[in-house]
Amino acid sequence: MGLGLVFCAFTFAAAQQDNVNLNHDPQKNTEKLNPYGANVISPEVHDDHTITFRIKAPDVQKVALTDGPILLALKSKQPIPFVKGSDSTWTLTVGPVEPNIYVYRLLIDGVAVADPNNTFTGTSNQPGYSNVVVHDQKPAYYDAKNVPHGSITRHIYHSATLNGEREMFVYTPPGYDPKKKYPVLYLLGGSGELASGWMFDGRANFIADNLLSEGKIVPMIIAMPNNQVIHRSDPKHLDKTYKLFEAELRKEIVPYIDKAYSTIADRKGRAISGLSMGGRHTQAVGFNALDLFSSFGILSAGDLEPEKLNPTFFNDPKVKDKVDYLLVGLGSGELDFVGKRSEATHLALEKHGIKHEYYIGGDGAHDWGTWRMLLNDKLLPNLWKNNSGKTK
């Protein structure tokens, strides 16, 4: 087994603004203190769900708020300009917006950058971004609550398939007992995401903790591997990635988890799901691996020619009996982005009589607001719900 570094769930909190706990309102800033190392407070989230952004930049000409998730929430199609004050502090107050966690960047003289004063900085295989946490009166479903918490382990392993060292984060539920057998959800990220994306931005561990405390899901292991196997800018990315990732799953990831943890080591005890590119991987690779998985979640993804992509799956006369749960889900704000692909996948499944759930909901688009919602509302509560995690 590779190197395993174990951390309790609360260890993965992003740095706080004006508090030291995992509060649900970390950017409210009741003490009016600058974040450590910052020269202004930004962002500052108010109880009326408005947000004030600031940056002290005397030598720049223009500052604006940008990036899809925050602009969508504000119903703006263009970056929103700041106003410069006499002390060279640029300020912008926007909203109100619905409570959620939003990605944003600052557009400074035409260059999009992370907010230099915000301690909630995204970690991905792409240029940096910032998160703003718009709180409600009580913790949200994705916040840390006073409930039993599971643990997350960071595993480093050598992949002979990809010829290098890889990482994978694994959530085990509170009270994990090696003498018991647990089902495993393999949860994949999107293009440009790292293995830690579902933990940091997706809050998968807190969502699972909260659902478990309410008795809405069965105790499960959640394995979050790195499904980036080819440079995303490679012109033949799609042609290369499916075969490589299937080999990585079969030869490296699944055997590693079954050896390291007490799992239900058969297809009935395994599910695979992913967002965006991870949803494509779920469909392109997972549907071809019915010997490994019986449940699937295609989040904000799909294919325009699903029968051509997965001929073996759709032509299998017993496929209807092999699928325990299948979700095709997306946000209401991304119908013009992945909507046609999701719909085509849904219609192909419907044509072949393959039972599945087709869901369009939430206020988000192609962003973490949608994917957290789908994980909490649809995917986790429906996995192994009829068998308490035991093999049928």
Residues written for the chain: 392
Beta bridge partners of 272: 186, 296
Q: Which structure tokens are listed for 216?
A: 């809405």
Please report the DSSP string for 75-129 in residue order.
Answer: T-SS-EE-EE-TTSEEEEEE----SEEEEEEEEETTEEE--TT-S-B--SSSS--
Mean pLDDT of the chain: 91
Cis preceding linkage at 148, omega within 30: no
pLDDT, tens digit, 9 for 90 and up, residues 335-366: 999 999 999 999 999 999 999 999 999 988 99
Query: Domain map of the chain by residue range?
Result: 25-134, 151-382
> pTM for this one?
0.91
**Torsion sign, CA atoms 257, 258, 262, 267:** positive
Pick the CATH number of 151-382 from 3.40.50.1820, 3.40.50.720, 1.10.645.10, 3.40.190.10: 3.40.50.1820
pLDDT, tens digit, 9 for 90 and up, residues 302-332: 999 999 999 999 999 999 999 999 999 999 9
For residues 89 and 56, is the Cβ–Cβ distance under 8 A?
A: yes
Mean pLDDT of 117-136: 88
- The helix or strand, by DSSP H or E, that contains position 330, with its residue range, turns out to be strand 325-331
pLDDT of residue 183: 98
Is pLDDT at 8 greater than 80 in this prediction? Answer: no
CA distance 336 to 301: 12
Is pLDDT at 10 greater than 60 in this prediction? Answer: no
pLDDT of residue 387: 52
pLDDT of residue 363: 86
Same fold, 25-134 and 151-382: no
Is pLDDT at 3 greater than 90 in this prediction? Answer: no
pLDDT, tens digit, 9 for 90 and up, residues 59-95: 999 999 998 899 999 999 999 999 999 999 999 999 9
Domain 25-134 has CATH 2.60.40.10: yes
Place of tokens 């044509």: 351
* Higher-confidence position of 56 and 4: 56
Pairing relationship of beta strands 111-113 and 83-84 according to DSSP bridges: unpaired
pLDDT of residue 191: 86
